[in-house]
Amino acid sequence: MTYKAKFKVWRGDDKDGGLHDFTVEVNDGEVVLDVVHRLQATQAPDLAVRWNCKAGKCGSCSAEINGMPRLMCMTRMSVFTEDETVTITPLRTFPVIRDLVTDVSFNYEKARQVPVFEPPADLKPGDYRMSQVDVERSQEFRKCIECYLCQNVCHVVRDHEENKKSFSGPRFLMRIAELSMHPLDTRDRRKEAQEEHGLGFCNITKCCTEVCPEHIKITDNALIPMKERVADRKYDPLVWLGSKIARR
């Protein structure tokens, strides 16, 4: 079945822009990205859109559809009624380059600031041993496709540009938690999670978890356990006494 749907697509650059109206053909089984491609092919050949896999695996086609952060290639047109206007806007938290393409380099900068895995110095590759439960715990976090929908939706940076400097966002706090839970990682990541990556800014609103296309339980399985680890360190009387003595 084919029908014509109404779309509002944000067009512009970092200086100026607005919503443009289009009417585009939609066919059975199509996703929003199919329609955006048809729009490019028939009416707006210079419309900028980032995508790669069209299979929900590269994390490139992130946008906001009717105000909800989503992957365009994984959003079926059948979730909208035929008479509904579908509004597509770029991710709001990152600067627009052009049309639906944003500059997500904030995320790469934050990624570079997370120190890498630090195994025991005398442990050779091939001698690593982990129990299955530890493997499974980090495997959930490894499903991340780096779409940055969680980074885009978190109110800590979405509504407060000034927090970007001190808050790494759910994706990278999850990476720190993953490393911290790794039985062979020797680095104590609790202090830096709190003081350099802004774990304390997270007030567990869970919006990140809600938008994750990989259904990773970011808040429950990464952020809250990491907060508990930080609290243990802070309120452990022995750690407290040790830090007092060290300061003398």
Q: Which residues are near ligand SF4 by CB under 6 A? A: 144-150, 171, 211-214, 216, 218
For residue 145, the minimal CB distance to ligand FES (Å) is: 6
Beta-bridge partner residues of 22: 7
Cα–Cα distance measured from residue 34 to residue 110, given in angstroms and rounded to the nearest whole number:
32
Pick what 216 binds: ligand F3S, ligand SF4, ligand FES, none; C-beta below 5 to 8 Å, kind-dependent: ligand SF4
Query: Is 89 within 8 Å of 141 (Cβ atoms)?
Result: no
Question: Would you count residue 73 as binding ligand FES (CB under 6 A)?
Answer: yes
Q: How far is the CB of 14 from ligand SF4 (least distance, A)?
A: 23
Q: Which position has the token pair 């822009």?
A: 17
The residue among 230, 231, 218 whose CA lies nearest residue 174 is 218
Residues within window 200-239 making contact with ligand F3S, judged by CB under 6 A = 202-208, 219, 223
The yes or no reply on residue 61 touching ligand FES (CB under 6 A) is yes
How near is the Cβ of 198 to ligand F3S at its closest, in Å?
10
Neighbours of 178 (CB within 10 A): 23
Closest approach of ligand SF4 to the CB of residue 113, in Å:
16
Rounded to whole angstroms, how far apart are CA atoms 158 and 152? 6
Q: What are phi and psi of 31, to 5 degrees?
A: -110, 170
Residues that bind ligand F3S (CB under 6 A): 154, 156, 170, 202-208, 219, 223
